């Protein structure tokens, strides 16, 4: 009995030592946790989100932003809301290769909708990084002719025709309804869409938060060099060169080539098992295949099937606890609210 106890004690100590060493390696590789401490998380968001200084969080602004996020009347057609392409029940995406917008038009560049969850931790927004924060990002889809196809004037007029919204803007911002504040409120709501996972518990010191297979996958993820781009709190979210080592075999699908320097925003790996299809043009549906393609395209290495499987097991540990969002009951339109313009 004593021999058996000594054996299990040694196994435990080895396992604990491996977990501690792995955590150190992960942190040294630039991986960071979403803080479990509420104050630390609030401070992190304020530090990382440039728009939080001009538009700080308040409960009233959050509740207004939630209504606006789900309100299809912000679109010209009255059909499309932010939640259409960034569905909070589907991992913050729409689950199709390229989104469909106004008049059922497919995205002309064939770009995939990134997840809105944890997007506050991205250093830039949009695939080409053209927006610095969520308030700026919110304006893009609202005004894009192939997305919501609206205008600042149309949005302001519609919202001003609804007394409840007039009241909400006054309460949240002590202001009349302005397009900039519409985007600000949506950004404030989106900053709250944080999904901490068991991976964060592991980084904060809980050796049992990840099982042995997940730890093995994390070690492989780091050893293969994946963390060279997928680092930080969001395991991504920064602009990086694409096709570093080899050509992406599906580069001919869509015309997106990155920013003026060919840089592309590295997608977050958080909740990655929920956000297929993958890559900027949404061509790849298998997580393991995406891992192998990235090994070739970015790292110039051949990731074996078993290694891709191990990494995918780790990546699934990044699936987090989404905040509970009560679907808002939106205020009624009035006789002065402009009717939808379907343009059919």
72: closest CA among 324, 330, 334, 325? Answer: 330
The upper half-sphere exposure of residue 273, i.e. CA atoms within 13 Å in the direction of its Cβ, equals 12
Let me know if 204 is a catalytic residue.
no
Q: CA-CA distance, 42 to 207, in Å (whole number)?
A: 25
Scanning 126-174, the segments in alpha helix (DSSP H) are 134-143, 152-160, 163-173
| Spatial CA neighbour of 201 closest among 320, 21, 36 | 36
The answer to whether the annotation marks 110 as part of a ligand binding site is no
Position of tokens 């997007």? 119
Q: Is 85 among the annotated ligand-binding positions? A: yes
102 labeled binding residue = yes
C-beta separation of 223 from 78 below 8 A: no
Q: Is 10 annotated to bind ligand?
A: no
The alpha-carbon radius of gyration of the chain (Å, integer) is 22
Angle at 68 between CA 152 and CA 93, to 5 degrees: 105
Among the listed residues 42, 147, 190, 289, the single catalytic one is 147
User: Is 86 within any annotated ligand binding site?
Assistant: yes
Nearest to 78 by CA among 298, 269, 333: 333
Binding site feature residues for heme c: 82, 85-86, 102, 226, 229-230, 294
Q: Which residues are annotated as a binding site?
A: 82, 85-86, 102, 226, 229-230, 294
Catalytic residues: 147
């Amino acid at each position: 009995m004593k021999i058996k106890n000594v054996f299990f004690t040694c196994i435990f100590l080895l396992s604990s030592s491996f977990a501690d060493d792995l955590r150190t390696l992960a942190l040294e590789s630039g991986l960071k946790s979403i803080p479990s401490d509420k104050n630390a998380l609030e401070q992190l968001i304020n530090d990382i989100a440039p728009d939080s200084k001009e538009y700080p969080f308040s409960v009233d602004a959050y509740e207004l932003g939630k209504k606006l996020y789900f309100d299809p009347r912000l679109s010209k057609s009255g059909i499309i809301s932010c939640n259409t392409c960034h569905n909070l029940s589907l991992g913050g995406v729409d689950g199709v290769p390229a989104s469909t917008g106004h008049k059922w038009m497919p995205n002309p560049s064939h770009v995939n909708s990134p997840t809105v969850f944890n997007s506050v931790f991205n250093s830039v927004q949009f695939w080409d990084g053209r927006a610095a924060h969520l308030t700026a990002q919110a304006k893009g889809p609202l005004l894009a002719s192939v997305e919501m196809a609206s205008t600042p004037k149309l949005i302001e007029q519609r919202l001003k025709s609804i007394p409840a919204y007039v009241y909400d803007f006054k309460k949240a911002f002590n202001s009349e309804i302005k397009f900039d504040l519409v985007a600000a409120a949506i950004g404030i709501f989106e900053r709250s869409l944080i999904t901490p996972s068991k991976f964060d518990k592991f980084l904060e010191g809980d050796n049992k938060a990840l099982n042995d297979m997940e730890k093995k996958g994390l070690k492989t993820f780091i050893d293969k060099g994946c963390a060279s781009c997928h680092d930080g709190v969001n395991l991504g979210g920064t602009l990086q060169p694409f096709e570093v080592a080899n050509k992406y075999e599906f580069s001919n699908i869509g015309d997106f080539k990155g920013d003026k320097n060919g840089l592309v925003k590295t997608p977050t790996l958080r909740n990655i098992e929920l956000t297929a299809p993958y890559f900027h043009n949404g061509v790849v549906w298998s997580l393991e295949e995406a891992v192998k393609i990235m090994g070739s395209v970015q790292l110039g290495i051949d990731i074996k099937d078993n290694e891709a499987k191990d990494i995918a097991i780790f990546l699934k540990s990044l699936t987090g606890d989404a905040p509970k969002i009560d679907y808002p009951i939106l205020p009624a339109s009035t006789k002065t609210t402009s009717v939808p313009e379907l343009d059919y």
